[in-house]
């Protein structure tokens, strides 16, 4: 029975207010409008971004909302004017769109599409939501809202992928893996034989480690306060790991001692201002590069001594690993299918959507790198 053009009733994990747990509810998902796509979400990752939303009552979000942005699914129906996907196509959801028309999309070095800013309204382009629950409109999140069995997304935030790709694996390419791996390959442009340090060994940080290894780094130092992450980091390419809490000197001093001149490429993959300052100070003072991969709090200013830059260090931002989303994501999926990339070590747990609060608790323990939710 075709559902095209009809409202679909399905389950979603709704966040009704800041600090509340997820609530599994029946929602109504409206048909896609012009240039929109309705997707049957098959798998979605619980990313660190959602964990930050849950842990903060001060983020500028509108409630109630359906979170989730690291997803993969199958196109159920399309709105008027959609030409790049059709019903039945397997797709990756993209929190970072690629409109193909703005200055960033048209620049070979840019990927921060101007249409991303529209997502801050948490509504579709016409200023309305496609989700309703108990007669109340529910806000979208991150252009995607994948914690719902069906979601409606703009065509520019959808990438068609290989028809046989396992969605429960490649959904990681929707955010975490691409963000970390690309930070090393595209943003930092790690060079063969170089020395790298990765601060934070969660899913994104471990993906940075994988990117550094793929780029030919000779030495990859993992830094984390959770020693349980060290084994996995070394399996993926870290040559050694440090816990700052075990050191008698600040981490930047230890890294300078270990390398004689500081680190070539440092990556902050947590979203912590103090860690970022330490990562920058760990860089080689003449040519070291520090890349901000973690999402930093917008309300707090970064305080760094200007002296750190006098000698030549550089500090760079990175979003989605520098990939042009619709253009590059299908290629990354193809690389996974060709066994050039291995996502499996990043997935430590798999649960159904109705167990999402259990997944949150697993992430809090630090023993879970990425939990995939099946819908």
Residue among 77, 125, 129, 70 nearest 95 (CA): 70
Upper half-sphere CA count for residue 106 (Cβ side, 13 Å): 3
How far is 226 from 209, CA to CA, in rounded Å? 16
Catalytic residue among 36, 40, 70, 99: 99
Whether 51 is catalytic is: yes
Catalytic residue among 36, 40, 50, 154: 50
Whether 76 is catalytic is: no
Cβ proximity of 248 and 224 under 8 Å = no
Whether 241 is catalytic is: no
Catalytic residue among 52, 160, 189, 349: 52
Catalytic residue among 40, 70, 76, 105: 105
Catalytic residue among 10, 25, 28, 51: 51
**Pairing of the two strands 195-199 and 265-268:** parallel
Integer-rounded Cα Rg, in Å, for the chain is: 21
> For 132, which DSSP code?
E
The burial of 222, by beta-carbon neighbours within 10 Å (0-12 exposed, 13-18 middle, 19 or more buried), is given as buried
Catalytic residue among 124, 175, 212, 266: 175
> For 11, which DSSP code?
E
Spatial strand order in the sheet of 265-268? 240-242, 219-223, 195-199, 265-268, 289-292, 314-317
**Pairing of the two strands 195-199 and 70-78:** unpaired
How far is 14 from 193, CA to CA, in rounded Å? 47
Residue among 212, 200, 217, 98 nearest 159 (CA): 98
Catalytic residue among 36, 70, 76, 113: 113
> Tokens for 328?
């590059």
Q: Which residues contact 275 (CB under 8 A, 6 or more apart)?
A: 199, 200, 268, 294
Cβ proximity of 320 and 342 under 8 Å = no
Whether 50 is catalytic is: yes
Cβ proximity of 140 and 12 under 8 Å = no
Catalytic residue among 36, 40, 47, 155: 47
Q: What three-state secondary structure class fits 235?
A: helix
Catalytic residue among 10, 11, 33, 102: 102
Whether 140 is catalytic is: no
Catalytic residue among 36, 40, 69, 283: 69
Whether 105 is catalytic is: yes
Cβ proximity of 69 and 174 under 8 Å = yes
Whether 283 is catalytic is: no
Q: What are the residue numbers of the active site?
A: 47, 50-52, 69, 99, 102, 105, 113, 175
């Amino acid at each position: 029975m075709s559902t095209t053009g009809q409202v679909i009733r399905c389950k979603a994990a709704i966040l009704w207010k800041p600090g509340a747990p997820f609530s599994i509810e029946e929602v109504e998902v409206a048909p896609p409008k012009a240039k929109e796509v309705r997707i049957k979400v098959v798998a979605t990752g619980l990313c660190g971004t959602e964990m930050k939303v849950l842990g903060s009552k001060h983020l500028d979000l509108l409630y109630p909302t359906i979170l989730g942005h690291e997803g993969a699914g199958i196109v159920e129906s399309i709105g008027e004017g959609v030409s790049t996907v059709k019903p039945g196509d397997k797709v990756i959801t993209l929190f970072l769109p690629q409109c193909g028309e703005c200055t960033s999309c048209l620049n070979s070095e840019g990927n921060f599409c101007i249409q991303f800013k529209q997502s801050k309204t948490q509504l579709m382009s016409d200023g309305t939501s496609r989700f309703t629950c108990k007669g109340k409109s529910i806000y979208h999140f991150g252009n995607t809202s994948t914690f719902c069995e069906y979601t409606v997304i703009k065509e520019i935030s959808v990438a068609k992928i290989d028809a046989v790709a396992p969605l429960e694996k490649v959904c990681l390419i929707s955010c975490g893996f691409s963000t970390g791996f690309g930070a090393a390959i595209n943003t930092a442009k790690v060079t063969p034989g170089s020395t790298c340090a990765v601060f934070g060994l969660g899913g994104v940080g471990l993906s940075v480690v994988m990117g550094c290894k793929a780029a030919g780094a000779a030495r990859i130092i993992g830094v984390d306060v959770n020693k349980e992450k060290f084994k996995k980091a070394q399996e993926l390419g870290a040559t050694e790991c440090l816990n700052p809490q075990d050191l008698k000197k600040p981490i930047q001093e230890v890294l300078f001692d270990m390398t004689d001149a500081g680190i070539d490429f440092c990556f902050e993959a947590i979203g912590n201002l103090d860690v970022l300052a330490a990562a920058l100070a760990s860089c080689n003072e003449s040519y070291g590069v520090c890349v901000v991969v973690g999402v930093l709090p917008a309300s707090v200013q970064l305080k760094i001594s200007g002296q750190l830059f006098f000698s030549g260090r550089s500090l760079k931002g990175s979003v989605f690993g520098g990939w042009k989303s619709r253009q590059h994501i299908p290629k990354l999926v193809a690389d996974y299918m060709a066994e050039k990339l291995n996502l499996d070590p990043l997935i430590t747990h798999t649960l159904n959507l109705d167990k999402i609060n259990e997944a949150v608790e697993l992430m809090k323990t630090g023993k879970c790198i990425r939990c995939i939710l099946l819908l």
